[in-house]
Amino acid sequence: MFDYAGSIHFHSAYSYDAQVPVDQIIQSGLKAGLDFALLTDHFNLDAQKDGWERMHQAGGRKLLLLVGEEISPRYNHYLAFNLASPLVVSKTDLHSQDVIDTVNAQGGFGFIAHPDHAGAPFVGIRAYPWVDWEARGFTGLSIWDLMGDWTSGLTSLWGVLRALACPAGVLRGPRPETLRRWDELAQRSHCVAIGEIDNHATRKRLFGVTKTLFPFDYAFRTIRTHVLLPHAFRGDLANDRAAVLNALRLGQSYVSLDLWNPPRGFQFEALDGSQRVTMGGRLARKGPALVEAKLPAPGRIRLIRNGRVIREEYSHSHLERDVELPGVYRLEVDQRVRGRWRPWIFSNPIWVD
Ligand SMILES: [Zn+2]
Ligand SMILES: [Zn+2]
């Protein structure tokens, strides 16, 4: 398997609320060592129309830029990919089922963006949660959002100063309510996760300090979604684009905070005597089975079945566990950084029958 690291959900000058031109964003992505990036401007696919969707190269590095759309009325923001044409709805439109159905009818697919976004009332940032949990037909949801996580700590002057001084140090990881919801959804049907950064690189003035939140050079090194592909990129857009989008749709991927410890080499699989299944897949057991995880460095590992922790290992880089019951199995890993356990890797589930 080839592990490609990507960044999902950010805005360029093609969005009404962002200013950084696409070519500059691509340079940041190359510098940060991203393999792919999914641009999602509000209500348009202009970057695709203007020819930015392709492999970019500089300094011996390559970055595949793909263009999706963030459909963003007042609530229920939706990240849509593989669209034939952009969807535009009014800011007050709350018919998220129509949005999902229209995306699917185009041959596209999508993820719920920042589902439990809470804003930061202390500094005047509004909340943009997903509120329509009756909706069906989405591919999955974002479980971890750089911007949402970071702003959730802005609850006091002290919180603001801490967040500005040490942006990644204040990240808490996916919200428990988001993981709970994901575990419930995944027990009902195939529902997979991505990570997102929701970056605008806007300049903001907070208590007299003007700062860019966040420069792309930095944001691209934080929360990533890694896809596992059976083949290396071939250099032709149609093939490489389909490979990345397919892996995201199927959940052959995991979410991680790459800043301190690169997670490349992470694997989570379920197997029995005759078959081996990776994340996003289903294992129909034909005999004794087990789940197996490998990490590139020791971490604190939690194995979760149907939303409950069934095994916790400290400072291990390997986990193996017999599977005696059917269920939805996934893995969370924390990393030890500067004397504290911090969120690191969140696998997509494996469904075991
Ligand atoms: Zn949004
Ligand atoms: Zn956004």
pLDDT in tens, the chain (353 residues): 999 999 999 999 999 999 999 999 999 999 999 999 999 999 999 999 999 999 999 999 999 999 999 999 999 999 999 999 999 998 888 799 999 999 999 999 999 999 999 999 998 899 999 999 999 999 999 999 999 999 999 999 999 889 988 899 999 999 999 999 999 999 999 999 999 999 999 887 766 778 788 999 999 999 999 999 999 999 999 999 999 999 999 999 999 999 999 999 999 999 999 999 999 999 999 999 999 999 999 999 999 999 999 999 987 899 999 999 999 999 999 999 999 999 999 999 999 99
How far apart are the CA of 172 and the centre of ligand 1, in A? 19
How far apart are the CA of 348 and the centre of ligand 2, in A? 22
Show the domain range for 76: 2-257
**CATH number of the domain within which 244 lies:** 3.20.20.140
Q: Of 229, 257, 285, which closes a domain?
A: 257
Q: Return the pLDDT at 206.
A: 67
CB-based burial label for 353 (10 Å; 0-12, 13-18, 19+): exposed
How far apart are the CA of 22 and the centre of ligand 2, in A? 15
Helices (H), 75-156: 96-105, 146-151
My answer on whether 109 and 182 are in the same domain is: yes
My answer on whether 136 and 65 are in the same domain is: yes
User: Max Cα separation, the chain?
Assistant: 64
Ligand of minimum distance to the alpha carbon of 200: 2
Classify residue 262: in a domain, yes or no.
no
How far apart are the CA of 13 and the centre of ligand 1, in A? 16
What whole-number distance in Å separates Cα of residue 71 and Cα of residue 88?
7
Q: Return the pLDDT at 205.
A: 76
My answer on whether 246 and 293 are in the same domain is: no
| Contact assessment for residue 53 and residue 237, using Cβ atoms and an 8 Å cutoff | yes
Q: Of 223, 257, 291, which closes a domain?
A: 257
